[in-house]
Structure 1
Amino acid sequence: MTTTYALLLRGINVSGHRKLPMAELRELLEGLGHRDVRTYLQSGNAVFTTDGPGSESALATAVEQAIEERFGFACDCLVRDHGYLAAVEQACPFPADELEGKQLHAVYYSEQVTADRFAAVDAEALAPEAFALGDRVMYLHTPDGLGRSKLAETVMRPSLNKGVVATARNWNTVRKLVEMTAAG
């Protein structure tokens, strides 16, 4: 069975730290036996096709180990297939077609998170910003963008994300990864 996956790397190529050139990431993925490897932007998005059964977590672990061996730093990774990515896009509770890509984000998690984790967040005080939870994802509506978002700053605190990997993508990237994994 052949499956196309998106690889989401957390915290690379940010402010000159943890540099991982996309050409070298493509080589690394090909060296792990993956095919049709493509990258999107410099912020750690890749798409690849692989054969045989493989869990998303096992694929992510293999990439994390290879990155640490080759580049000398740890990098959290998430791997998601096309079906999951398309379902996240379809389940968005916010009017995605009416918003700019910078106003809507998906925070992907390594496992399901519950509302209890975010019970201390005073959502009303942060309005008009809003969030909603889905299947291993949080949807963030940030009308002024993520960089100025008090909500994003709050929900991305390490104390609220303890024990899980969380990585955010703007809605343009969400859509592009759905498109790229469909083409695989």
Structure 2
Amino acid sequence: MTTTYALLLRGINVGGSRKLPMAELRPLLEDLGHGEVRTYLQSGNAVFTTGGGAGEDALAAEIEEAIEARFGFSCDCLVRDHAYLAAVAEACPFPAGELEGKQLHAVYYSAPVTADRFAAVDAGAFAPEAFALGDRVMYLHTPGGLGRSRLAEAVLRPSLNKGVVATARNWNTVRKLVGMTAG
């Protein structure tokens, strides 16, 4: 059975460093035996199919290793299937249909995170910005956009995200990846 996955790369092609052209990522994934490889934007989103029973973590580790071997730097990767991506979109506690894509983000995590991790953040002090946790995801509502968000700065601090990989996507990208993995 073939499964369609989204690959989310963290921290590439940002500010002129860690360049990983999507045109070079596609053949890398194909060389690993994956099919129907497509990329979305230059910020590290790809979709591919694969057979066999490799899980998301094993696929991510394989791709991380291949990226380091080919490009000479490490890059954290998350791999998620369509069912997960669709469930994240469906479970959004914010009115996604009423917001611009830049106002809502999904921060995908490599493992579950709990409210305890963010207990030091006084979420009320950042209103109208807000966040909510889901299944290995944080929903982040930033009416002024992520780049200007004080709440995003607070919850995405490395000290609060120790031990997990976290990578954010705006809601336009969330919806696009759901569609691309729908098969």
TM-score of the aligned structures, taking structure 1 as reference length: 0.99
Give the Å deviation of 1:41.
0.1
Q: Which residue of 1 aligns with 2:4?
A: 4
Give the Å deviation of 1:113.
0.2
Instruction: Report the Cα distance in structure 2 between the residues aligned to 1:49 and 1:132, rounded to whole angstroms.
Output: 31
Q: Which residue of 1 aligns with 2:89?
A: 89
| 1:94-144 Cα distance to aligned partner (Å, 9 max, x none) | 000000000000000000000000000010100000000000000000000
Q: Which residue of 1 aligns with 2:147?
A: 147
DSSP-derived class of the 2:175 partner: helix
Instruction: Report the Cα distance in structure 1 between the residues aligned to 2:108 and 2:175, rounded to whole angstroms.
Output: 14
Instruction: Report the Cα distance in structure 1 between the residues aligned to 2:154 and 2:17, rounded to whole angstroms.
Output: 23
- Note the 1:120-139 alignment, pairs <5 A: 120-139=120-139
Give the Å deviation of 1:88.
0.1
Instruction: Supply the AA of the counterpart residue of 2:80.
Output: R
Q: Which residue of 1 aligns with 2:25?
A: 25
Instruction: Report the Cα distance in structure 2 between the residues aligned to 1:37 and 1:110, rounded to whole angstroms.
Output: 22
TM-score of the aligned structures, taking structure 2 as reference length: 1.00
Q: Which runs of 5+ in 1 are unaligned?
A: none
Instruction: Report the Cα distance in structure 2 between the residues aligned to 1:162 and 1:21, rounded to whole angstroms.
Output: 28
Instruction: Supply the AA of the counterpart residue of 1:145.
Output: G
Q: Which runs of 5+ in 2 are unaligned?
A: none
- Note the 1:1-184 alignment, pairs <5 A: 1-183=1-183
Runs of 4+ in 1 over 4 A off after TM superposition: none
Instruction: Report the Cα distance in structure 2 between the residues aligned to 1:115 and 1:9, rounded to whole angstroms.
Output: 25
Instruction: Supply the AA of the counterpart residue of 1:153.
Output: E
Give the Å deviation of 1:44.
0.1
Give the Å deviation of 1:54.
1.0
DSSP-derived class of the 2:132 partner: strand
Identity of aligned residues (%): 83
DSSP-derived class of the 2:58 partner: helix
DSSP-derived class of the 1:66 partner: helix
DSSP-derived class of the 1:172 partner: helix
DSSP-derived class of the 1:147 partner: helix
Q: How many correspondences in the alignment?
A: 183
DSSP-derived class of the 1:18 partner: coil
DSSP-derived class of the 2:146 partner: coil
Instruction: Report the Cα distance in structure 2 between the residues aligned to 1:180 and 1:142, rounded to whole angstroms.
Output: 25
Give the Å deviation of 1:70.
0.3
